[in-house]
Structure 1
């Protein structure tokens, strides 16, 4: 059974439920300790994550007067029973199932087959724990380049984020020998996707600190061939997928109107798993990682690690893209 859904009441009417920000597992406070602190004002019916951030919760009382007392006593004031943390509180009301906006939450799949997106495949435990340790050690002794919120390394060819493409005239060299344990296993995907490319020549290593994600995007069609492999190491995450209607295919993630219609799906990527994006899933669906420290997977709270490192393998395209999704293709627009 899913968790109850809440929303802000109209006209700030009073409620039995409180939305409490700067409070939750993401800031080191357990749900039990929060319930204990708020029980000073009345009987607490439950404490629920308000969203996937881990930094906001819903405190639900049995009666409205208890909620009002807690709000008046704790809003924007340090709470001694929660480490002196200053809380930001407002009323909240539970939504009926008919009110739930499907864009606010998404069911997280554990297997690619549950996604029902053509061209997306996932293999768990693609590398062993020992291989994971060796891969992380290999990149940690090499030079990282800092972006706004994460660090990267490029091999084979450098990906230029300003133009969202690669300079095919400037090859950095062959892929490093320390990823040979990965490359030799990649052909196993041919059993799942006959068209999967396995001759790869570009690698981007991304290091994501806790809570840092990736903005929605489709890897530039003209930059890379059809198969993109992403190996997750060190920490888990949720990857979400979004497909806009054909008329919205040329919209960038930063400029899309919030009212644009789209389909949204998500999958859980555990450490050491390898994800393949090909076909429709690669060419027509945006993929992204929400900026969360806490993810909800099948009603289970999963905390992201202190870091997540991804190894993304691709093949640089030498000519124009002629895919079957021209509305999403920079070569054909």
Structure 2
């Protein structure tokens, strides 16, 4: 029995039902599907971050005060400088990836390998920089105390500049009685194994420095400059707050505490930048595999460098995501 195929009039078009829509290979289409699904994940992270920040807008940390470190420049206030440099390096690696793909179109193996190597180096620098940023964020710089309500109290001088705990707190002698394994909970709750200073030491050091004040995490608008600034208490209010409401010392940031302000800020920082950093690290591994295949002449024998294009799509996506992360998390 003969089979009759009805003509639809779309056979010659890109989406005419053929096996290569838009003349794209199966591998490229699957990469696009992955990129679209991953874009939804990052969009969810950024949307959740936006809603949370809007809800706690009056308590949200100021990014310029948090990300103000620069390698080999200890003590220098360089707000966002290193993050901007990281962004420039990642975008630069996207340019080298474009050049690698272009060289592949001309079957130029040496140039493909060279530009892929530059892309890998840029990715490694970015991942290493992100790890360095994490280290500083986790370790903290100034220290603070936490109140009964979970709010953060920071210390400033008369000019409103942050003052680190080490500048006014003296560590006194401590005697920790050895306990057995069954009493281990007491030792964990004492705070000696985590905090450099005890709350009583901070209170004594603060009382001995009449020039110090407490700054809360509550933001208010400066009428003269129009900028958002954290509220600084008077000396009397500072002493009362520290003596009656402080419960523990906080140094650095983790998933439960954050010396810079709201703990949610640290949570989103770890999840968003960590998830993106994992993508960059994965991209570096992919690029290394492609790089060695190029050196071995694998794609030369195939007569096509399409694999470079596929990994290039992934790398451009990772770069584009960072542009959004940099804009909404660091700048806005």
TM-score, normalising length from structure 2? 0.26
Higher helix share: 2
Bigger radius of gyration, 1 or 2? 2
Greater relative CO (CA pairs within 8 A, separation 6+)? 2
Higher strand share: 1
TM-score, normalising length from structure 1? 0.26
